[in-house]
Amino acid sequence: MGKNLNDIKKPIFYFSSTLTEGNRNMRDILGSKGANLAEMTSIGLPVPPGFTITTTTCAEFYATGQKLSRGLINDIHKYIGRLERDTGKHFGSNSNPLLLSVRSGAAVSMPGMMDTVLNLGLNDQSLQGLEQATGNRRFALDAYRRLINMFGDVVMGIDHHHFEAELDRIKKRHRAKQDTDLNVNGLKAVIDAYKQIYKKHTRQDFPQDPYEQLQKAVEAVFHSWNIPRAIAYRRINDIRGLLGTAVNIQTMVFGNMGNDSGTGVAFTRDPTSGENVLYGEFLINAQGEDVVAGIRTPEPVLKIKAWRPDIYRQLLATKQLLEKHYKDMQDVEFTIEQGKLFILQTRTGKRTGNAAVKIAVDMVRERLITRKTALMRVPPNDLNQLLLPSFIDKAKGNVLTKGLPASPGAASGYPVFTADEAVEKKEKGTKVILVRKETSPEDIHGMDAAEGILTSTGGTTSHAAVVARGWGKCCITGAADIIIDEANRTLRINGTLIRGSDVISIDGSTGEVMLGDIPRKRPGFSKEFYTLMQWADKTRKLEIRTNADTPADARVARRFGAAGIGLCRTEHMFFGEKRILAMREMILADNTTARRKALKKLLPYQRRDFEGIFTAMKDLPVTVRLIDPPLHEFLPQEITTQQRVAKDLGLSLDYIQRRVDQLHEINPMLGHRGCRLTVTYPEILEMQVRAIVEAAINCRRRHINAMPEIMIPLIGVDKELSMLRELVLRTITAVKAEKQYDGKLAIPIGTMIEIPRAALTADEIAVHADFFSFGTNDLTQMTLGYSRDDIGSFLPEYLDKQILPHNPFQTIDMIGVGQLVDMAVTKGRSVKEKLKCGICGEHGGDPDSITFFASVNLDYVSCSPFRVPVARLAAAQAVLKNQLDLFI
Amino acid sequence: MGKNLNDIKKPIFYFSSTLTEGNRNMRDILGSKGANLAEMTSIGLPVPPGFTITTTTCAEFYATGQKLSRGLINDIHKYIGRLERDTGKHFGSNSNPLLLSVRSGAAVSMPGMMDTVLNLGLNDQSLQGLEQATGNRRFALDAYRRLINMFGDVVMGIDHHHFEAELDRIKKRHRAKQDTDLNVNGLKAVIDAYKQIYKKHTRQDFPQDPYEQLQKAVEAVFHSWNIPRAIAYRRINDIRGLLGTAVNIQTMVFGNMGNDSGTGVAFTRDPTSGENVLYGEFLINAQGEDVVAGIRTPEPVLKIKAWRPDIYRQLLATKQLLEKHYKDMQDVEFTIEQGKLFILQTRTGKRTGNAAVKIAVDMVRERLITRKTALMRVPPNDLNQLLLPSFIDKAKGNVLTKGLPASPGAASGYPVFTADEAVEKKEKGTKVILVRKETSPEDIHGMDAAEGILTSTGGTTSHAAVVARGWGKCCITGAADIIIDEANRTLRINGTLIRGSDVISIDGSTGEVMLGDIPRKRPGFSKEFYTLMQWADKTRKLEIRTNADTPADARVARRFGAAGIGLCRTEHMFFGEKRILAMREMILADNTTARRKALKKLLPYQRRDFEGIFTAMKDLPVTVRLIDPPLHEFLPQEITTQQRVAKDLGLSLDYIQRRVDQLHEINPMLGHRGCRLTVTYPEILEMQVRAIVEAAINCRRRHINAMPEIMIPLIGVDKELSMLRELVLRTITAVKAEKQYDGKLAIPIGTMIEIPRAALTADEIAVHADFFSFGTNDLTQMTLGYSRDDIGSFLPEYLDKQILPHNPFQTIDMIGVGQLVDMAVTKGRSVKEKLKCGICGEHGGDPDSITFFASVNLDYVSCSPFRVPVARLAAAQAVLKNQLDLFI
């Protein structure tokens, strides 16, 4: 892909209008920012010149004792020389000094996670030079104090608050409200104070040698690659296989050189709606970091039109050029220095699921990309956001305030004020909204744990907004009316006091903040969504079914495009008020006759349930799984309930307690459940099969084409299946005869493959099965020996230490569990060539797992109703990924 | 093997001195009894002539609606004709009637399990004939009443007690104490009464047509193949793959024709000690069934010498002939009819483990068999009996009574009086002795559940004795002083009243019955045992190690021939008084420093334990498994203990309870244990490795060659092992440096393969392992999804319904779990050719499993100390079985 192998040894790549050594395809070694700076320079965009130190160099830095090599330092000097020639400025000069920014940049964008130093090259001498070159003493002093602060903090690890406190003290003394109110004397005092802080904490003077500054800064960027928060970000976002970070060293431009200067962030399309308009925010007379950090609330980018129509036209042209070139929506950082536009960075813009769909489909229409590319463009998980509920308008009630709609969705929860509190409460099952003045990378884990995020400052491109949008998490920023009292754990919104015990609701699509737990509704879909889904359906080979136990779920899934039910659990049906009593009567029975009597009471309920589901899924298959959980799950564990049940069933409390004790299991996961129950109590199976067949016959007689399939869970030994299959067939025949039904009613009988032994002996089992359905939840538990209920005690550490690449209950463990799936499909089809194979574990809705399932030739995946569109798209991508593998 | 394929179609095989169609190699189709009747006839033994209907015919009977075919009935008529010609008697004749026995006989002997009819052919007419031929009216009447009783019971299913009650009534009326006291009139009354019982229950007259009798009897034998107790016997004894039962129809001979008649059972060697002497019992003037049923207590066979020296000589000659011919110890049934000896049956004699070893080794010396045959002759599990404890003589105290020493061993337990009670109490963990007047096949399950069996009647060849010996279970029969009061659940022995709450002890080697729980001692071994073990060691390829956690166990195992320790668990070491407190302190610690402090206290204990074990096993490898069970197993669950621990450790009760709650797991089997513990608490691993290394160094400095190996349990992912191996190596190096030890101390580091995923990814794991040790207990739990603690709720039904061929925790599931073992060995050795592979689950002591482990080329098995000799022999047999497979 245009990358020369020798390039890897080259430690530095230069970019300027006179020479550009890199390009966009080199993000592995230049990082994504560096590759794009080179690319943008090549296509003629006004990028301040500079150079990039490669990720390979970072890897080498770690391999060789975390020191910069002599050779590298020499190279840096050489390239600084070239930069001096190209800019006509001189590093450390007392007349026209070259100032640099030093930024990290890995191959994958990690917003805010890596460290940056600006204004590098300033010292007591070049300060004079900057003042001379700009004619602005105040500006020069401000730049210098920023450098000492940033350098001290980022490079030398001096806590930011030392600088902040000193600044506040001096501002107070000079009666300055804002930083900008400080005059030259004030700034001088700040610089002196900062130098003292620097010395106190490092026992060295602030370095006056600009090369020493640069060298230390480069080292700091390299170090920042492996600080805990960077590692955590990579883990949370499942980013792996990178060499390290690149370092971008670039000529400084200043958006804070007066009112003809400014800085901003622009998206080439609206990242929330996907609309084809220039979108973003800017601040006049500000440094770039001010926008991202959310300290001042910026203006919409559209307002540049009024302020500087020439710049706005340039920005529109840049948008066109970038999209034509990159063929995707871009997220651009720009700075206007004294009326001149500079582009500092471009990268693929993060977007909501909604926007991803619209942009992909629109770009096909605009002939920028092909349908295949469009399908690959939308991360399947992002579709979840489209399916996110929104609040029912009428139920909204009193809106307390309105912030910026930073990431769509609707969330309710108890307010929490720190990231740790969010995690803590989440672990206890409490839904929370993280409420902060602003968020920073330190808050990542709390943002992950919260239902939604609400900040009182910051714009729609602030840290909170960018991260939340990336995750599809509901977020409101810049809700300025909110006063947070972290100490008392309360917040006050326009006079209303909200405590930690009050639920609040936030609407990420409107920015509205409300009191109480507002009811939500399911969303409608855009026409672009339907278009994309159509393309996906034409492309994919996997059939997508759903896991649904009720007619309502079945209807939802059908609307989302499910081609049938792959898993209809029957046990939830036993939990209704009257049913549970009959169920308990059945379990407590100590002989077959009593058990049959209780089962007879359950029959009408089950039949009615099945009729409802078959009707909702008419003309489509419904795979009913026979009873699965251990019986003790249905028995009351608490004495009061036990007493009530004893009374209701006319049994002694003692008897019930004895029975509960008897049925208790040490490891219920590996106990008396699944088909083991119907082996020992065949009458349960008979009742369930009877209910299915009677329901199907009733439907057919109402001209509703019920298509039941019967699935027997937890098979481990072929004889279990052959015996139970026999019993199912006998029951079907008996019920048909009894109901004098002589229509065609072929009911396939299959099994779940969820015990390792079943996979290992799939050739023996397939003889008795019309289909296989992989229960990858249980298969994962047994293959890895992880109880899903107990994994919390070690999984986080396993992920941290990278023993596991991901939670195996989210994405299938392909090497282990996947090997068994593959083996079972192969063995099963070795005796039944056309054996239908599907999967109905939760992995059925996980895109990476779906790619795997496609690769082992499953016929279908079955997932929860709201994952059906995700699965449809992921299945299409699985096909396309294979094509890409073939042709590139 | 001399069996013609066409033979299978031939339904009947004849045997008499004029024509013999079968031979001993045809037991598959003639059953073992039938094949031996043919064989014995061929070699000239005096066998009453008859014929055998094949097992194939039985299978056909079941295949074709359980009816005898026309063709078969014709064949039977034909062979009866031949029999009439050979004997000069006539079926149903009123002058010299041919009387027949009809007996079942499968390919494998199943004592007492199948039904038998004697005297068949008698009716009102031939009764006259029998009287005429024998000149003994009383005898003829007695034979007839026996036929009606047996035919009614066995063929027509009339409960035996109906006949018994009527007999008692008539005996009382005729003032007869014994059956034999009944005179002709009494017997006539019995016959009339029996006929009425017959009619009442069958609504038919007792069949007068002898062919009808025969046909019905044959059908009954076939039916008896599938009655529940026959199925249960096959299950308990793991008998599979048989076609059905054969039917042996043979001319009757009578041991009850006066005082020159008799019947007996003889073994060609002593089945208890193995000594080369004629051994057995006989009764004068009795039917054969009387001996086996244990109703009268018989005389030792030696007494025949005095009674009829000619017969005794004939018996000795028969012994010689049979052993020379069969090359094994035989169990012979014989009858003396009016001074003439008949041999009715021979079969390989059941024997104790002791006898099996002695007979096998003696027969090699006698040049009857080869060493290989001798090795194959002893069922490895029978060696267990040699290792059975016996009572310490001095501790025996008061012997209440003495019965017959029917099966050796020493057992103590609470007396129970029914089989059901035995099973019930056993399930609750109570050890019981089954005390019965006599046992019958209906008692099988109770005999299985009991520690030992004690009967008040019956000889050493009674049902109880034969079954108990087969199982190697301690048994005393014919303890005539015992009066059993089943209703009050007590027994009285010579005036001592024993209640269900009193423990009794029985010595199966002496026949002594004692009150109380007598202490036992371990056995010494015979020289034959050592000889056989030597032969086994020369033959086997598998190395045999032991599972031992203490120096005492290690010494025992070493004496039994263990070549090292394959599994030294370390967790039991934490349960001592002071240790458990330090262990609890460690678990309750909420930070690493506190945890390290507690671990430091545990270190000296562990080090001392290891020194003891290394010393006991000097020069042999000791594989130490690092901590495995979940931590909550060490915490107190009861409030009183919790309170004490709180006090001892200066913690609040509340804290301890919270910690217990926190550590509670839903499925502990799949939870936070094994290497997962040392991943999250590496300091535990460091302490254990330190203890091992320090102990090894201390030993070496005392010139004791300690050879530790370190085994990491529950590995599922290669990275777990690579990370922990690294830590183990670092710790070893650190301790060696600290102790200034520079001798060679290479400690192999391996892993258990006990999680399915580990087997599936063994090639990845082997990279970091010096050896694999299969933990087949856990591997079975996870591969089959069976919790060993909870399997009781469905395993019995699974065995009954033959869903599982055997308990997979006893004998390895070769198809499923075995497939993973095979796969892991192959994958492991694909990356490390010489990778040492062993197994340390309980299957390591199971002969069938050992055969399997040999077949997949494991290097060693490790089993409990008392299974070591079993494993040595089984490993030799595994080699020989392969040779047999090769050459036959």
User: Residue A813 is encoded by which pair of tokens?
Assistant: 């463990």
Of A665, A723, A790, the CB nearest to B787: A665
The pLDDT score that the predictor gives to residue A405 is 83
In this predicted model, which residue has the larger pLDDT, A294 or B245? B245
C-alpha span between B270 and B352 (Å, rounded): 10
Q: Is B817 in Cβ contact with A714 (below 8 Å)?
A: no
A863 is catalytic: no
**Whole-complex ipTM:** 0.78
- CA B810 centroid distance within chain: 12
For B572-618, how does the pLDDT look when each residue is reduced to its tens digit (9 = 90+)? Answer: 788 777 788 889 999 998 888 999 999 999 999 999 999 999 999 99
Which pLDDT tens digit goes with each residue over A152-199?
998 998 988 999 999 999 999 998 887 778 899 999 999 999 999 999
Average pLDDT over residues B619-624: 98
Q: Which of A474, A837, A840, A863 is catalytic?
A: A840
Strand order in the sheet with A432-436: A399-402, A512-515, A504-507, A410-416, A432-436, A452-455, A474-477, A404-407
Helices (H), B25-180: 27-42, 55-63, 70-87, 124-134, 137-150, 160-173
B688/chain A closest Cα distance in angstroms: 21
DSSP A149-202: HHIIIIIT---HHHHHHHHHHHHHHTT-SSGGG--HHHHHHHHHHHHHHHHHHH
pLDDT tens per residue across span B266-279: 999 999 889 999 99
Coil, strand, or helix at residue A121? coil
Residue B475 confidence (pLDDT)? 92
Residue with tokens 């087969």: B470
Cβ distance of A820 and B668 shorter than 8 Å: no
> Residue A112's pLDDT is what?
54
* C-beta atoms surrounding B156 within 10 Å: 15
Q: How confident is the model at residue A313 (pLDDT cuts 50, 70, 90)?
A: very high
pLDDT of residue B887: 40
What digits encode the pLDDT tens for the residues A527-583? 999 999 999 999 999 999 999 988 988 998 999 999 999 999 998 788 777 788 899
Distance CA B576, CA B583 (A): 10
Residue among B719, B790, B798 minimizing CB distance to A666? B790
Query: Which pLDDT band holds residue A336 (cuts at 50, 70, 90)?
Result: very high
Greater pLDDT, A346 or A8: A346
B310 or B225, higher pLDDT:
B310
Interchain contact, B716 vs A816, CB within 8 Å: yes
Helix (H) / strand (E) containing B606: helix B592-616
Residues of B in contact with A795 (CB under 8 A): none
**C-beta atoms of A783 and B819 within 8 A:** no
Strand partners, B51: B14, B249
A667 contacts B667? CB cut-off 8 A: yes
- The pTM of this model reads 0.79
Tokens of A227: 């600080």
3-state secondary structure A841-858: CHHHHCHHHHHHHHHCCC
The whole-angstrom distance between B774's CA and the closest CA on chain A is: 15
β-strands A771-774, A836-839 pairing: parallel
Contacts of B671 in chain A (CB under 8 A): 787, 790, 793
Q: Which residue out of A463, A632, A768, A843 is catalytically annotated?
A: A463
As a whole number, mean pLDDT of residues A662-667 equals 88
Contact A670 B667 (CB under 8 A): yes
Residue A840 is among the residues annotated as catalytic for this protein: yes
Contact by Cβ (8 Å): A12, A34 = no
Over pLDDT 70: what percentage of chain A?
Answer: 96
Confidence of residue B112 (pLDDT cuts 50, 70, 90): low
Nearest to A756 among B672, B782, B804 (CB): B782
Residues A589-607, mean pLDDT to the nearest whole number? 92
Q: What are phi and psi of B706, to 5 degrees?
A: -75, 135
Instruction: Mutation target for B interface from A592, A782, A812: give the one with most B CBs within 10 A.
Output: A782
Query: pLDDT (tens digit, 9 = 90+) per residue, B211-241?
Result: 999 999 999 999 888 887 788 778 777 787 8
What confidence score (pLDDT) does residue A578 get?
78
pLDDT of B172 higher than 50: yes
- The residue behind tokens 């469009």 is A374
Predicted local distance difference test score (pLDDT) of residue B888: 35
Question: What does the pLDDT read at residue A471?
Answer: 67
For A378-406, the pLDDT digits (tens) are 999 888 778 777 888 777 778 899 888 88
Please provide the average confidence, as pLDDT, over all residues in chain B.
91
The alpha carbon dihedral of A305, A307, A313, A318 has a sign of negative
CA distance A92 to chain B (A): 48
Chain A nearest C-alpha distance from B538 (Å): 36
Residues comprising chain A, all counted: 888
pLDDT of B398 reads 82
Residues of B labelled catalytic: 463, 840
Residue A884, pLDDT score: 61
Distance between A668 CA and the closest CA of chain B, angstroms: 7
Structure tokens of B125?
Answer: 């007419």
Across the interface, whether the CB atoms of B672 and A761 are under 8 A apart is answered no
CA-to-CA separations, B189 to B63, B173, B184, B209, in angstroms, rounded:
43, 10, 9, 22
Per CB-CB distance under 8 Å, the chain B contacts of A801 are 679, 719, 723
pLDDT at residue B292, as a whole number: 61
For residue B326, count other CB atoms closer than 10 A to its CB. 20
Provide the token pair at A682: 């065949």
